[in-house]
Structure 1
Amino acid sequence: MSTPSVPASASYMLIFRNTGAENYRHLSAAQQQELVGRWNAWFEGLLSQGKAKIGQPLEDETRLVSGPGGARIVDGPFPETKEAVGGFVTLQVADLAEATAIAQRHPGLEYGMQIEVRQMTPHCHLGVTTNAVPV
């Protein structure tokens, strides 16, 4: 007797861009609250289905560290607001198509938000397995 196979899943990150306050200034306070409610319902639905693992908005304040030994430190924000990363959600889903379908249902898209969908990997770009959280 064979055991039913469990579908494989992969980790994806939804990266939210163009989430600045200027996108929502034209909305009344009630409309803004309604959007926050829809945004939370979208995320909480994913949590209850076991598809979302973590999600968090990010502050605009940024610091860039570069150069040998981190010798260069520059305070930001740097990119235009529409390019800045405003938050993220990590997903555990079957494939890129499912991650994309989840992103397409985000209510912030109606207001110019963009969502980058990226698969997470346990390997760095040098091909070495990292000590990152298992994906």
Structure 2
Amino acid sequence: MRIGVVLDASAVLAYARMDAIAVGELISSAYEGDARTGIPVLVLLDACRELSPKEWDLVTELTSREDGPVAVIGLAAHQVPGVAVNMDGLDHAAAQAVAAVRDLGATLATYTPSAYTAYLDDYDVLALS
């Protein structure tokens, strides 16, 4: 199953804090359409620093099923240059999210779409609200 949607840190934080239902609905919709949602590992690292243990448990539950609707997108050595090229103006996590969208032909789901205007085409970014 392909990854059709990539979550950035704002989307992961909103999901974990139950601030909105949009992320959960997006994950379900993608999965029903035979696509998984991806979370870059560097996004998980950033989110982990900001979440309470209970919130982190929600994220862990979401990403722990091997055949579940969400997959963690790793970072192999050969992928580092593709992430590094995006780091002029983006943090590590956002840079990996942009690289994943480009590599996978996916859509980025975010609550901060303006952060990505210089890096992705408008049609590659889904503004959550």
TM range (shorter): 0.3 to 0.5
In terms of fraction of residues, the more strand-rich structure is 1
User: Relative to total residues, which structure has the larger helix share, 1 or 2?
Assistant: 2
Using the size of structure 2 for normalisation, the TM-score is 0.32
Q: Which has the higher contact order (CA 8 A, sep 6+)?
A: 1
